[in-house]
Chain A
Amino acid sequence: AQSVTQLDSHVSVSEGTPVLLRCNYSSSYSPSLFWYVQHPNKGLQLLLKYTSAATLVKGINGFEAEFKKSETSFHLTKPSAHMSDAAEYFCVVSLPGSSNTGKLIFGQGTTLQVKP
């Protein structure tokens, strides 16, 4: 079965320091993986997605993620945190098969706190 595990429920960084949000996936197939961000009282927004092309994926707002098959990981990083990055982040896997296309399985989320 496909699933994702976000290894940290809460991450706190200082503004200007690097961000690392960790995600491991479980999949019988070559997965499609995503990172979404959820700001308070706003809709979920797609940050980036991996669909078996380049293993290093660049997203919006300076975020990027690297797909590592050997480690079954898809960690999200950003070189320098900004106060506006404080939000909930979700690692997501898409189920395989044409009938499941669009069916997303969300991790439990990581709350990113950015301190001034």
Chain B
Amino acid sequence: EAGVVQSPRYKIIEKKQPVAFWCNPISGHNTLYWYLQNLGQGPELLIRYENEEAVDDSQLPKDRFSAERLKGVDSTLKIQPAELGDSAVYLCASGKTRYNEQFFGPGTRLTVL
């Protein structure tokens, strides 16, 4: 069974540029999570989807961050414009439901110059 797929694995951009991350969850998993992991820290939840509905986006900085999961499968997380402080690893996770184990992807490491 394929795991959670994320792309790109690495991204380097200049500040004020837009950037997007893509996540393909494990097949059949209805719940999808985006986390932010700063260097030397544990992951922090940004947004949780149940199917195509964002059920918890309280930690998502909505002035510059947006996310979508249009068909309830793949998801995209976007930052526009990026700031220096956005440099971090962005993790995607999925689970059959929110009651089940979360499986994590390898993450996208973003560097903003």
Closest chain B residue, CB of each to CB of A90? B42
Residues of B55-83 at the interface with A, using a CB-CB cut-off of 8 Å, are 56
How many residues from A make CB contacts under 8 Å with B? 17
Say whether, besides A43-B3, A43-B4, A103 and B45 are in contact (CB < 8 Å): yes
Binary flags per residue of A69-94, CB closer than 8 Å to B gives 1, else 0: 00000000000000000000010100
How many residues from B make CB contacts under 8 Å with A? 24
| 21 A/B residue pairs, CB under 8 Å, sorted by A | A41-B106, A43-B4, A43-B91, A44-B91, A44-B104, A46-B101, A46-B102, A90-B43, A92-B42, A101-B99, A102-B98, A102-B102, A103-B45, A103-B48, A103-B56, A104-B45, A104-B102, A106-B43, A106-B44, A108-B41, A109-B40
